[in-house]
Amino acid sequence: MKIHLIQLSSNPNHTKEISSYNDLKQLDVDYIRHVNPNYIELPPNRVINGEDNIIKMTKKHNEWGLTPPHYGCFKSHCQAIAAAMCKDHPTLICENDTKIINPKVMNQKIQEGAKYMLKNKYKILRFETPSHGDERNRGCNKQLTDFLWESNRMIGAYCYMVNPNEKAWWLDTILNKGWHAWDIFLNYIFQSEHTPMLSYKEYLTDFYRGGSIIDPDSPEKQ
């Protein structure tokens, strides 16, 4: 199956981006680089909030506060999804520091997961694997196959696939539901609508260390 890949780029000359690019170019996908907008104005004040668990998650994972670069990152993901919805095949969206553990295995899982996602009408397939030990397994609450699970949360959003057959839902989500740090935004939307995510529980991806490109003052990507 044909698969597109859009990588969100902030600084193509940054060491992490170079390493990530070299990883992603080993995948059997149509690669596109999307340069993030340099957003420096005050972001819109329509920030999502809601249930207590979302508010607590916000406080835990957003210690530095929402900044213009966070909004720029949000807009980049939205633009990538809008582009993905114009295509006939699934699109993998990767941030600029995505690390592929084993490209050969990843190629197999991309194809396997894309077919399952389309057949069973899931909106998203998660490949991201947070480096927080057992925390990467949190939210995987229903086993579907030997490797695929349903989950109800995302920790990080540096590697995921979107279903182009869910165009109306995705466009409504990115245009009409407010904004937040991207992974917190997705968690809120999927949890509040009781919509499961499709997820791999295997250690397929990670991210290159060295601090956040969009938030240089942070000690590490959370």
Burial of 110 (0-12, 13-18, 19+ CB in 10 A): buried
Residue 185 has pLDDT above 50, yes or no: yes
Residue 7, helix vs strand vs coil: strand
Task: Report d(CA 198, CA 186) in Å as an integer.
Answer: 13
- The Cα 128–Cα 200 span in angstroms is 8
Residue 31: half-sphere exposure toward Cβ, Cα within 13 Å: 15
Q: What is the pLDDT of residue 45?
A: 65
45-62 per-position pLDDT tens digit:
666 654 433 433 344 444
d(CA 6, CA 3): 10
Residue 5 confidence class, pLDDT cut points 50, 70, 90: very high
The pLDDT of 3-8, averaged and rounded, is 97
- Nearest alpha-carbon partner for 29 in 95, 101, 108, 102: 108
- pLDDT > 90? residue 40: no
Least confident of 86-90, 114-118, 132-136, 167-171: 132-136
Under the banding of pLDDT at 50, 70 and 90, the label for residue 66 is confident
pTM of the model: 0.86
Closest CA to 118 of 90, 78, 81: 90
Count of beta carbons in the 10 Å neighbourhood of residue 144: 15
Per residue in 132-157, pLDDT (tens digit) is: 444 445 567 788 998 898 988 777 79
Residue 213 CA, distance from chain mean position? 16
Confidence of residue 80 (pLDDT cuts 50, 70, 90): very high
Select from 156, 159, 191 the least CA-distant residue to 80: 159
36 compared with 78, residue with greater pLDDT:
78
* Per-residue confidence (pLDDT) for residue 216, from 0 to 100: 56
CATH code of the domain occupying 4-207: 3.90.550.10
The whole-angstrom distance between residue 189's C-alpha and the CA centroid of its chain comes to 13
| Residue at 191: amino acid letter | Q
Domain residues of the chain, as ranges? 4-207
- The pLDDT assigned to 61 comes to 43
Give the pLDDT score at 121.
97
Average pLDDT over residues 97-110: 96
Cα–Cα distance for residue pair 1/183, rounded to 1 Å = 27
Reported confidence tier of residue 1, pLDDT bands at 50, 70, 90: very high
**89 pLDDT above the threshold of 60:** yes
